[in-house]
Amino acid sequence: MLLKILVGFLTGLRALAAGTDTTQQRLPPPPPLLLVSFDGFRADYLLRFPMPNLKLLYSQGVLVEQLKNVFITKTFPNHYTLVTGLYAESHGILSSHMYDPVSHKLFSPMKDTDPTWWSKAEPLWLTARKSGYKTATTMWPGSDVINRTATHFLPYNPDVTFRERLGNVTKWMQGDGNEQGVMFAVLYWEEPDRSGHIFGPENTTAMGKALKEVDDNIGLLMLELKRANLWGRINIIVTSDHGMAQCSTERIIRLDDCLHPDNYTVVDLSPVAAIIPRKDPKAIYALLSKCHAHMTAYLKKDIPDRLHYKNNKRIQQILLIADEGWTILQRGSTITKLGDHGYDNSLSSMHPFLAATGPSFRQGYRISSLQSVDIYPLMCHLLSIPPQPNNGTLTQARCLLAAETCGDTMLVIGLVVGAQIALITIIVLFRLLRRRSMPTPRAFQRLEVDDDDDSPLMG
């Protein structure tokens, strides 16, 4: 009898599960998602320059005024963070120049297709492919890696114009009679980073021109998506990897003034130097730590936890971090750029922004900040894909979505709590006042005993 009940219960559970599966299959697929990065778009460019097309885009969607990106604030680590939700120490792309002490290989932007560098994390275009979606990448850092590409991809070539890159993305997202449209696509463009390095972010004339071109490209993006009948049907996130700080020939730190170059090997130089000591590391660290008032030296074990930049074999024994706007050089070299990034990710000059629009996003909504590691779980949520393990959370990012009411919920909770506090205060006051108005009870007194009654035996 008991066995029969158990079998019946399990059959029922299986039927319920099958019913759920059928329900899921019947759900319409989520809207496709396009992630666009304009490299080096410092958050306050939005306040300093007109950007009418970008403003039109987020007026119909959401704006995150500052995105707290990951250390080091360089292109490769941050672009990999956007598509993995991991800090650099976890995804293993620690800078644009790296040395691996196990394989003895060197990494640089022009030598980046070896999969061993990227294998600690899975970018979303691979996870989405495994979920059965078609995906596409155009020039995104890390998208040309051997055996780790999207369904469609354009290998990196800086000579390919924005219009051409966009044309490919639009075609892949549209699909045709034979080919299903892409569900997740990423699009990368080198500006305003290129101009920011050459002229510095404080050069209003030059940056105004560069940002006018970026904004024209955003206008083109909107136009092409409308022409392809994708606008309003897909979700679009426009963001960037990092900001830009103003550098100067008057803010130079020369390593060789402190230490002869025979003592160390430089893997990466400025504004965060990765140093391999060739002699006694402690002695070399001692010299470097006193080298310059605008540079901080760390032994690997002492790198602050908040930077999430310690637990990886590709982080070298000594790390030097220059203050904002300072450039680290070796003797003989001169400053070649008036703008740079890579500095501490707590600096607002290093932060980019985020704008998004589409059927899943709220309209005319803005928040002041968000962690860049949170964008990955947001994108997985938008695509209904189970995320890989990551350092982000949906807690704050979900407030950007139309289906969520977290901002309103917080307001309602605030109002209810406020009303309860007010009510309790009124009750307490009322009771206090009532107590005051009541007659004071007489102090306890012993009963006065009549002498006559004291002892009936007397008398």
Nearer to Zn ion by Cβ, of 188 and 264: the residue is 188
Nearer to Zn ion by Cβ, of 85 and 196: the residue is 196
Nearer to Zn ion by Cβ, of 195 and 263: the residue is 195
Q: Give catalytic status of residue 113 as yes or no.
A: no
Size of the site for Zn ion (CB under 5 A): 5
Which of the residues 73, 75, 138, 170 is marked catalytic?
A: 75
Element (H, E) at 413: helix 406-437
Q: What is the CA radius of gyration of the chain?
A: 31
∠ CA 247-77-91, nearest 5°, is 155
Nearer to Zn ion by Cβ, of 109 and 155: the residue is 109
Q: Is 75 in the site for Zn ion (CB under 5 A)?
A: yes
Give me the residue whose beta carbon is nearest to Zn ion.
Answer: 75
β partners of residue 246: 339
In sequence order, the 6+-apart residues with CB closer than 8 A to the CB of 132 are: none
Nearer to Zn ion by Cβ, of 197 and 362: the residue is 197
Smallest distance from Zn ion to CB 42, Å? 11
Q: From 17-25, 136-144, 188-196, 416-424, give the range in contact with Zn ion by CB under 5 A.
A: 188-196
Smallest distance from Zn ion to CB 243, Å? 9
In sequence order, the 6+-apart residues with CB closer than 8 A to the CB of 210 are: 191, 192, 194, 195, 196, 199
Q: Is 241 in the site for Zn ion (CB under 5 A)?
A: yes
Pick from 33, 38, 410, 12: nearest CA to 220: 38
Smallest distance from Zn ion to CB 369, Å? 20
Among 122, 193, 215, 268, binds Zn ion (CB under 5 A): 193
Tell me the CA distances in angstroms from 17 to 26, 28, 380, one per residue in order.
Answer: 14, 19, 23
What count of other Cβ atoms lies within 10 Å of the Cβ of residue 24?
9
DSSP conformational letter for 181: P
Contacts (CB under 5 A) with Zn ion, residues 22-41: 39-40
Smallest distance from Zn ion to CB 44, Å? 16
Greatest alpha-carbon span in the chain: 131
Smallest distance from Zn ion to CB 74, Å? 7
Site for Zn ion, rule CB under 5 A: 39-40, 75, 193, 241
| Residues with active-site annotation | 75
